[in-house]
Amino acid sequence: MKLTSVFTFFLAALTASATPLGLYKRQTTNGSSNSSSSSSGTVPVIITGGSAVSSSQSNVTTTTLFNSTSTLNVTQLYQIATQVNQTLQSESSSGIIIVTNWQSIETLSFFCSIVFNTSKTIVITENHLWGLPILSSSQAQGRGTLVAGSDSVIYSGVFPPYTVPVGVSSQKQVQWFYEACQPTLIASNSTIRLQYSNFSNTQISSSSSSSSTSGGAGGGASNSSTNSTSTPSNSSTAAGGAGTSSSSSSSGPLVPIIYEEGYSQTLIQSLGSSIQGLVVISSGTSSNSTATSWTSVPFPVVYAIDASSSHDGSTIGFLSNTSVPQGAVSAGYLSPIQAQTLLSIAINNQVTSTSDLQMIFPASQQ
């Protein structure tokens, strides 16, 4: 997205409503939308992929969890959550930068948006240098997880990648488009925060784990399995927003993504005993989407639309609950990968009924 189009978009959005697209909850703040950078000591950086951090930077402390070049799976996401939680618990920490590969930006930013109920700044980026000005900004807190793009534009981690810009950054300052507030999906009075506070746990529940290795959240549209790893777990909720960790070994729920045009009853029957949930990319044709009933399958099913085949920041789609088959849940404006991530978190916390999932996904919140 070009910088000029970003400013044009937000000028119109801010004129029409107090916050962009009506997808944000207004919060009281005493700060200015134009924020200068301020030094806050050592910057914690977690490496999971992406560009390497120079060892000559004395103001950066790095923790390398893995150097993945492929999409992070749900088990790896919970490993990251454990490390992030430990860092955010420090009173001296105002936030954290997580460096990852391009394929994992969408999964990781949305996962952190849901799991971390904190006002501290979490920046997801491919290069830690892009995140430094944001973490130094006095007005970055209270905005949810942020994504630092290569174009100097700052995006919300709640929405499909590079679709909702919230500010622009330079080496010396950050210009925010509006005062600090949380997206409606994760606002302090949202269903997720009020009724499903256990979503902030960093434990992978043994009752939701698959016996086979899994791709989990963040995988592409497929029905194949990938490797999983062990992950630490938690026993209580901590101040940083996610749980305090103790050691265990488990794999996350298996939630594949399939295309509506490509599945058959034979495929579903073959998957039924090995998966914990399913995301279906809607064909966009109402007659096709409502022709099937999912009431008899033993796992939750979420339908999502792929509004843009490339991450060009041009489109946010929406799928209503009336456009999905009986027994399925609409993902609303969430992308297929975001739907997979949220469903994986829900299953991990034993939230699997259609009625409960409809409360969580944004289709019911519009």
- Distances from the Cα of 366 to the Cα of 24, 190, 320, 330, angstroms: 12, 12, 9, 12
Provide the residue ranges of all domains of the chain, joining segments of one domain with +.
Answer: 3-186, 206-238+253-365
User: How confident is the model at residue 209, as a pLDDT?
Assistant: 52
Residue 136: Cβ within 10 Å count: 22
pLDDT at 221: 42
pLDDT digits (tens, 9 = 90+) for 46-95: 999 988 887 667 789 999 999 889 999 999 999 999 999 999 988 778 89
Q: Which residues are paired to 168 by β-bridges?
A: 153, 175
Q: What is the pTM of this model?
A: 0.80
The answer to whether residues 23 and 16 touch, using CB atoms and an 8 Å cutoff, is no
Tell me the pLDDT tens digit for each residue of 128-169: 999 999 999 989 999 999 999 888 999 999 998 888 999 999
pLDDT higher than 50, residue 181: yes
Q: What are the tens digits of pLDDT across the range 322-343?
A: 889 999 999 999 999 999 999 9
Contacts of 195 (CB under 8 A, 6+ apart): 359
Q: What are the residue ranges of helices labelled H in the chain?
A: 3-16, 74-88, 105-115, 128-136, 191-195, 265-271, 286-289, 336-348, 354-360
Q: Are 330 and 363 in contact (CB under 8 A)?
A: yes
Q: Does domain 3-186 have CATH number 3.40.50.1170?
A: yes
Angstrom distances, CA of residue 197 to CA of 53, 156, 192, 322: 34, 21, 6, 28
* Whole-number Å distance between alpha carbons of 224 and 87: 34
Res. 347 pLDDT band, cuts 50 70 90: very high
Per-residue model confidence as pLDDT tens digits over 199-239: 998 778 766 554 333 344 534 443 333 333 333 333 333 33
Residue 147, Ramachandran bin (φ over 0: left; ψ between -120 and 50: alpha; else beta):
beta
Distance CA 256, CA 334 (A): 16
Ramachandran region of residue 152, left (φ > 0), alpha (ψ -120 to 50) or beta? left
